[in-house]
Amino acid sequence: MDRRQFLISSATGAAALAAASVPVSCSSGTSKKSGAVPLRISFQEGIAPREELNAKLDYMESLGVVGFEPGGRGLAQRVNEIEQALRGRNISVSAICAGFDGFILSSDPAVKAEFDASFKDILAAAGQLGSTGVIMVPAFNGQEPCLPHTQATRDYLCEQLHELGEYALKCGTSVILEPLNRRECFFMRLVSDAAAICRDSQSEGIRCMGDFWHMQEETSDYAAFISAGDCLRHVHIAGRGDRKMPGETPDVDNYVDGFRALKEMNYKYFVSFECGSEGDREQTVPAAVELMRSQWERA
Ligand code: MG
């Protein structure tokens, strides 16, 4: 059984177990037996200060980075390239970052159809690559034409996500909802907002994430992650002052409270860099990795 088959059968098994214990929920049980929860660091494709994919992966390996987060655009055409580049390495594909056309809440059937087709293509490729899931925002503020924000639209969103989540499970992966903030997505601005949509979508294939940059409206990083419980499938990290490299705004780049929740939850997925850098990446990237490790240790 190769890795992909394992993931597919695991996902199928998980789905079967879930079906046997309805209702689907984001149970937020924590465990105090979490002494050795490893920090699994991932980089988006633009983070490593190298040009070519293999050079980026060599660099990541030298820092002990174990996850790679490519963009979703054109992913189906890149499956072979990425598989080849990862062969024999201790790096796996973490999440896939968006890259689809259209959006799920569009009121224009043609735009919705574009979304359905392109997102399913990315899900299939994500499954082939053993990815944890594909990141999506259902609608950004100002994205038009959009269904009105009503109860009926929320019900529709959950129905559509249910269908997509079941498709994702068949592909051996998931859909990962990314909460933002009120300026970018007013109806999904807290990790718990996304977790509630996961619960109401009634599919194990609908999961969510937290992004330390977007989590500015949370009253507690700790409570935000705990609220997602088993639905938490991915985390993004960036400097909290200006979305640069963690450590470049040292007064505010504190992740300990959130990391403490991840450790208590026995979080087993990735914490992935999604950020720019003010300084020389040859210095700022290794320093950020070191900062994350020391704060994880303290958490
Ligand atoms: Mg993000």
pLDDT at 274: 98
28: confidence class by pLDDT, cuts 50, 70, 90:
low
pLDDT digits (tens, 9 = 90+) for 234-282: 999 999 999 999 999 999 999 999 999 999 999 999 999 999 999 999 9
Query: How far does the centroid of ligand 1 lie from the alpha carbon of residue 37, in Å?
Result: 23
Q: Which of 27-36, 110-119, 149-158, 214-223 has the lowest mean pLDDT?
A: 27-36
Query: How far does the centroid of ligand 1 lie from the alpha carbon of residue 178, in Å?
Result: 7
Query: How far does the centroid of ligand 1 lie from the alpha carbon of residue 195, in Å?
Result: 16
Q: Which of 29-33, 96-100, 113-117 has the lowest mean pLDDT?
A: 29-33
Query: How far does the centroid of ligand 1 lie from the alpha carbon of residue 21, in Å?
Result: 32
Cα 38 to Cα 2, 85, 128, 265, distances in angstroms: 24, 24, 25, 12
Of 137, 99, 145, the closest CA to residue 120 belongs to 99
* Averaged confidence pLDDT in the chain: 92
> Does the pLDDT at position 129 exceed 50?
yes
Query: How far does the centroid of ligand 1 lie from the alpha carbon of residue 168, in Å?
Result: 20
pLDDT at 12: 45
Full-model pTM? 0.90
Query: How far does the centroid of ligand 1 lie from the alpha carbon of residue 35, in Å?
Result: 28
Gap between the Cα atoms of 206 and 112, Å rounded: 18
pLDDT at 22: 44
Query: How far does the centroid of ligand 1 lie from the alpha carbon of residue 10, in Å?
Result: 27
Say which DSSP state 141 is in.
T
Query: How far does the centroid of ligand 1 lie from the alpha carbon of residue 162, in Å?
Result: 23
Query: How far does the centroid of ligand 1 lie from the alpha carbon of residue 97, in Å?
Result: 8
Query: How far does the centroid of ligand 1 lie from the alpha carbon of residue 274, in Å?
Result: 6
Asked whether the beta carbons of 66 and 293 are under 8 A apart, the reply is no
Gap between the Cα atoms of 168 and 149, Å rounded: 26
Query: How far does the centroid of ligand 1 lie from the alpha carbon of residue 234, in Å?
Result: 10
- Coil, helix or strand for 30? coil
